[in-house]
Structure 1
Amino acid sequence: MLVFWKERLVFLAVPKTGTSAYEATWQTRASIAVLDPPELKHAPIYRYNRFFRPMFERTGGEDMETLAVVRDPLDWLGSWYRYRRRPFLDGKRTSTADVSFEQFVLAYMKGDKPPFANVGSQAKFLEPRPNGVRINHLFRYEHQPALRAFVEDRLSVTLDLPRTNVSPKLDLEISQEVVQRFRRKCAAEYEIWESGT
């Protein structure tokens, strides 16, 4: 999470949406850069609302706006799948080394997900709060020029983004039947993605 106090903007880091590259570029420009632990770095809107927003409001930041990036749901899961295939995780319950991508997606759709498929939800991460706190500026990962233009204008900067924390390339095969099941079962994921700019 990055806080740009003068510009009244908080960038919430949705996991697996390219936020590491933005953090690497913007962290020295930010007033506050929350890089660890992961629970705070990747604070969802409910955690922002509960802990950070009240602190900001008490110090004059009542008008802070939020920014986030959301990724095509299957592409997002593909990134998690590749990330969890790293040799570092071999033999651990969170490793996807011994499952296909289709098995991973099927496991993700279960109510009681196995550890390797328990990767959260973009829709839940960005879910508006009952008090009205929500993401003000939501950009699709696939529309980087729009995000870049917004940030460059808002922060009065020119961005030179490095590629960081990139998951290894893999062909991710999945049947159309499973794709359709996923789209039905995880409709909220598509709703939030389609609401982005």
Structure 2
Amino acid sequence: MLVFWAERLVLLAVPKTGTTAIEGRLAPRAGLVLRDPPVVKHTPFYRYGRFLAPYLEATGAEGMETVACLRHPVSWLGSWYRYRHRAELAGHANSTRDISFDAFVEEYCKGRPAPFAAVGSQARFVAGPNGTRVTHLFRYEAQDRLIAFLEERLSVTIELKRLNVSPEMDLSLSPAVEEKLRRKRAEEFEAWDAAG
């Protein structure tokens, strides 16, 4: 998470959406950088609203806006699947080794998924109480719009390096499993659809 005090802007780091690369470029420009541990770096909007926003307001930062990026749900799950497939996780409960992408997504659709498919929710990440949500929401697949927004808002030029990239894999999802995902996790697609 990056806080730009003068510009009254907070960049929330939704996992698996390229925020590590953005953080790498903009951290020196930010007034406040929350990057470690990961639970702090990836503070969701509802926690930001409950804990950090009141503190910032108490110190004079009124009118802070938030910005975040969402990835298409299938692509987002694919990134998690690939990330958890890496060799160093073999044998761990959250490893996706020896599990197909279909099986991973089916497990994600359950109310309480197994550890390997417990990756959270982008829709919940960007939502707050009483229907509030992130002020500016962009799609990962149209990252140029996010970059243009940040360049204009922060008066900087942004050239990104690829960081924290998961290994490439074939991630074909069967139509039946995709239909189940769309039905069981409709809020994920609705959140992505609402992003610009």
Displacement of 1:39: 1.1
Over aligned residue pairs, what C-alpha RMSD do you find? Answer: 0.9
Task: Verify the 8 A CA contact 2:5 2:30 in the aligned structure 1.
Answer: yes
The answer to whether the 8 A contact 2:126-2:134 is kept is yes
Q: Secondary structure at the match of 2:138?
A: strand
Following superposition, the deviation at residue 133 of structure 1 comes to 4.5
Residue 156 of structure 2 corresponds to: 157
Kindly state the Cα deviation for residue 60 of structure 1 after the two structures are TM-superposed.
1.0
Instruction: Describe the superposition over 1:30-64 as per-residue Cα deviations: whole angstroms up to 9, x where unpaired.
Output: 00010011111000011101110010010111200
Question: Could you tell me how far apart the structure 1 residues matched to 2:132 and 2:2 are?
Answer: 17
Structure 1 position 134, deviation (Å): 2.3
Gaps of 5+ in 1: none
After superposition, the Cα gap between the structure-2 partners of 1:178 and 1:133, relative to the gap in structure 1 and judged at 3 Å, is closer
**TM-score normalised to structure 2 length:** 0.98
Structure 1 residue aligned with 2:103: 103
CA–CA distance in 1 between the matches of 2:71 and 2:171?
Answer: 16
Q: Which amino acid aligns with 1:61?
A: A
Distance 1:54 1:133, change over 3 A: farther
2:118 matched residue in structure 1 = 118
C-alpha distance in 1 between matches for 2:72 and 2:116: 20
**Preserved CA contact (<8 Å) 1:49 1:133:** no
Residue 144 of structure 1 corresponds to 143
Offset of residue 109 of structure 1: 0.5
Q: 1:22, CA displacement in angstroms?
A: 0.3
Tell me, in whole angstroms, the C-alpha distance in 1 between the residues paired with 2:98 and 2:34: 34
Select the structure that is richer in helix: 2
Counterpart position of 2:59: 59
Partner Cα separation in structure 2 for residue 133 and residue 111 of structure 1: 24
Amino acid at match of 2:152: D
In structure 1, the residue corresponding to 2:10 is in which secondary structure? strand
Runs of 4+ off more than 6 Å: none
Match of 2:47 in 1: 47
CA distance in structure 2 between the aligned counterparts of 1:159 and 1:143, rounded to whole angstroms = 15
- SS at 1:46's partner residue? helix
- 1-structure distance, mates of 2:105, 2:42: 22
Q: What is the TM-score of this pair, normalised by structure 1? A: 0.97
Residue 178 (structure 1) aligns with: 177
- Report the 3-state secondary structure (helix = DSSP H, G, I; strand = E; otherwise coil) of the residue aligned with 1:25: helix
SS in 2 for 1:68: strand
Whether the 8 Å CA contact 2:49–2:128 is kept in 1: the answer is no
